[in-house]
Amino acid sequence: MNVRLINDVPDGLTSRARSFVGTHGVKVDVRPVEGHRQWWLERGVPAVVIDRMAAYQERWGGLLLPPAPQYDGGPRYLDPDSPEEDSSGWWFEAGTQRTAVPYSFMIGPSGEFGIEAGGWVPLHATIEGWVESIALAHHASMWAKQVTKLVGDDVDGIELNGYEPVREVMGLADTWWRGPDSLVSLYSGEALSLDFPRGRVAVIYSGLDAWGLRGGVDDDG
């Protein structure tokens, strides 16, 4: 596998995420989507879907980031594959699993990033939101004075009054919340997709100063 440094960080990210991708990400070689176009067309995949996959690959293909804190690290690297259709539209794989998890990472018909294990659960409204969430977890873990993890029913005890959603992660099943001196990440994807309530996870990063809370991002992206 040929690995190289990134010199073209995708735009549309916060300064925090751009710095994270540029510093900690690398690119690996991937096979161009266009090489499979005719094969997919002959099997009924619409050209517009292949165009979506090609655009995704152009922007994200081959990006390998440090492991995400949940979902056993997330995709090994980002690259589209395996287009499929259901009643809601066309999907494709966002990237192969990094570890042996019982679901696939997918891009939904409206561009959502999520997991599919017989049931689709969108985690973030866009792939950018997923990347932002990994960058924020890395940042918060570096600056927090204390990190607390809660699992299952214990998540219900978290009090979020006075907290605001962190909008740049574009959270759906997974969300981030910012308080006066702490950040809270809530992960519900595995619980919903696998019908496993104990799969809910919350991580509280406490003791953060202004830099720790925002990492130089003055607004919410």
Type of residue numbered 173:
A
3-state secondary structure of 37: helix
Strands (E), the chain: 3-5, 26-28, 63-64, 81-86, 89-95, 104-107, 113-116, 120-124, 146-151, 164-165, 175-178, 182-187, 201-206
Rounded to whole angstroms, the Cα distance separating 182 from 82 reads: 40
For the chain, the domains span 3-128, 131-214
Structure tokens given for 61: 């293909």
Structure tokens given for 221: 């992206």
Digits of tens for pLDDT over the chain (221 positions)?
A: 677 667 788 899 999 999 999 999 999 999 999 999 999 999 999 999 999 999 999 999 999 999 999 999 999 999 999 999 998 999 999 999 999 999 999 999 999 999 999 789 999 999 999 999 999 999 999 999 999 999 999 999 999 999 999 999 999 999 999 999 999 999 999 999 999 999 999 999 999 999 999 987 865 44
DSSP state of 34: G
DSSP state of 68: P
Tell me if 19 sits within 8 A of 220, measured CB to CB. Answer: no
pTM: 0.94
Tell me if 140 sits within 8 A of 208, measured CB to CB. Answer: yes
B/e letters for 170-201, b = 16+ CB within 10 Å, e = fewer, are bbbbbbbbbbeebbbbbbbbbbbbbeeeebbb
3-state secondary structure of 157: helix
